Amino acid sequence: MKFKESWFIVTWWLMIIASILPFLILAWFNWPASDDYFDWMIVQNQGLLDTIKSYYLNWGGRYTSYALVFLLNPLHWGENSSMCWLTFLQLGVFLYLCFGISRVLVSTNSSSTLRGLSFGLLTIFWWAYLPRPAELLYWFTGSMTYLPGLLGIYYWYHLNHVERLFGLTKRVIWFALPFVIAGTNELNVVLMGLVLCWSMYDSTEDRKKFVLPAIFFFLGSCFALLSPGNSGRSGFFETASGLPVHDLGFTLKQSSILAFDSISNLLFKTPVLLIGAVLGFIPSETLKKKHPIGLLVIASILVPIVLYTPFCFGTGQVSPPDRVNNVVFLSESFLLLLLCRIVLLNRLKLNRLLIVARTVGLFCLILPENRVQSAWRDVLKAEDYQAQQTSRRVFIEESKVKYDPMMFTFTEIQSPPYTLYYGDLSENPEDHFNLGFARYHNIKAVQIKSHETPQP
């Protein structure tokens, strides 16, 4: 048995490493894009504090995200090299989130083998089936807007349910963290509110301790959601889409459609139920049958709808960005896995459980068209992508010395690695990406011509 366990541990960690390794390799080839350049330009023009104030008044209430994005912008230290290290940070945060959520699914009192099994299953599944890795793991602005808040929500729950708030520092963090999370983005506001309500409902101790974090969360939510910039941002999208921003009927209908599509894709295009079945066979002392299964079923249906509501109501559009789909995927898959854990509550002998887990994990990796396979294919494209990006910079520097043209024209990046590629410059020189890129490289203007031969 010990030999079988050791063999499982070795093969299991090899599968986990195989799932994560291509994403780590691609981090070396990541470049800033879009808002990364524009935000850098605005900070250079207005200064940090004035930029945060301007964004809050004119663009939205995400005060925490603005501070993170403007302070940590990789362009403060260079393009590719600093972007690489920040990408490792973003990947590390997501990996730690996988570890943390696996601790919620499986008791920390379980054996190291069972905890490793839970961590491995969740890691393999989330990295293989995340809708769009680029917008959560590689694009700096998108990652800093969503990932820190998700990690903060988990850590707040962890402090309350695992560490029991020992120590003054942890108590202060637990009280203040909801205010910080409320300033990340609207989806995290919804998730933090749901986690806070669930924690109060599920608490077997004095619920008065939740009063102060609830007050801080309410104040932060009001400060974020009532920002003058939210109406301005909604007006921008309304003009672009032509749809009624404040039409509640449209919001309810479209949110329900998007939630149905998301749940359907999760159930029928990913092996989420297989993962849930294996997790359900793991013994647990923390998941009790007293937990309301019906409430979890309702939550699994309603939470995606609620998460899509801010987007539909605030923009009037029908197609959300993939970063929203990413958060819905993570939230809905967690609810389904937790539901499987509570519904099954079965027992399997450890040797059989390890065999089943390894089989399911391998199935996740070999199932066609998952993100791990795409990432490994993109590793083969990474050097060419790096060369195309570098050639643009070299051409710009050489041209500035020779004749300093009024307009730099390039063709689109060819065959980019989709896993990390967020987007390219625009044909419109006045596009925010183009403006920021031109300012960063100290040139007058830049544009893309899709059907011309590149100058470099």
| DSSP assignment of 188-215 | HHHHHHHHHHHHHHH-SS-GGGGHHHHH
**Residue 236 confidence (pLDDT) above 80:** no
User: What is the pLDDT of the chain when averaged over all its residues?
Assistant: 87
**Residue 75 confidence (pLDDT) above 80:** yes
Q: Do residues 354 and 117 touch, judged by C-beta distance below 8 A?
A: yes
Tens of pLDDT, residue by residue over 280-298, are 888 765 555 456 788 889 9
Tokens of 418: 């989709």
The reported pLDDT for the residue numbered 391 is: 94
Mean pLDDT lowest for which of 38-52, 79-93, 160-174, 377-391?
A: 160-174
Q: How many CB atoms neighbour CB 383 within 10 A?
A: 12
Confidence bin at 452 (pLDDT 50/70/90): very low
Q: What is the DSSP letter of 136?
A: I
The CA distance from 43 to 51, in Å, is 6
pTM of the model: 0.91
> 301-339 b/e with 16+ CB inside 10 Å = b?
eebbbbbbbbbbbbbbbeebebbbbbbbbbbbbbbbbbb
Q: How many CB atoms neighbour CB 429 within 10 A?
A: 17
Query: Average pLDDT for residues 207-211, to the nearest whole number?
Result: 83
The reported pLDDT for the residue numbered 171 is: 83
Q: Do residues 144 and 74 touch, judged by C-beta distance below 8 A?
A: no
The reported pLDDT for the residue numbered 5 is: 60
Q: Do residues 305 and 259 touch, judged by C-beta distance below 8 A?
A: yes
**Helix residue ranges, H only, 28-62:** 35-46, 48-58
Tokens of 158: 């962890």
231 Cβ contact partners less than 8 Å away, ≥ 6 residues apart: none
- E strands in 263-322: none
Confidence bin at 456 (pLDDT 50/70/90): very low
> 168-204 b/e with 16+ CB inside 10 Å = b?
eeeeebbbebbbbbbbbbbbbbbbbbbbbeebeeeee
**Residue 239 confidence (pLDDT) above 60:** no
Sequence spans of domains, the chain: 2-376, 381-448
How open is the CA angle 109-112-117, to the nearest 5 degrees? 105
The reported pLDDT for the residue numbered 163 is: 58
Tens of pLDDT, residue by residue over 151-182, are 999 999 888 776 566 677 888 888 999 999 99
To the nearest 10 degrees (0 to 180), the angle between helices 211-225 and 168-182 is: 30
Q: Do residues 339 and 293 touch, judged by C-beta distance below 8 A?
A: yes
**Residue 349 confidence (pLDDT) above 80:** no
Mean pLDDT lowest for which of 160-169, 182-191, 321-330, 363-372?
A: 160-169
Query: Average pLDDT for residues 195-224, to the nearest whole number?
Result: 87
Query: Average pLDDT for residues 254-264, to the nearest whole number?
Result: 94
433 Cβ contact partners less than 8 Å away, ≥ 6 residues apart: 33, 34, 35, 37, 38, 423, 425, 426
The reported pLDDT for the residue numbered 249 is: 81
Q: Is 81 helix (H, G, I), strand (E, B) or coil?
A: helix
The reported pLDDT for the residue numbered 345 is: 67
Query: Average pLDDT for residues 188-205, to the nearest whole number?
Result: 87
Cα dihedral 379, 383, 386, 387, rounded to 10, equals -160
User: How, if at all, do strands 408-410 and 446-448 pair?
Assistant: parallel
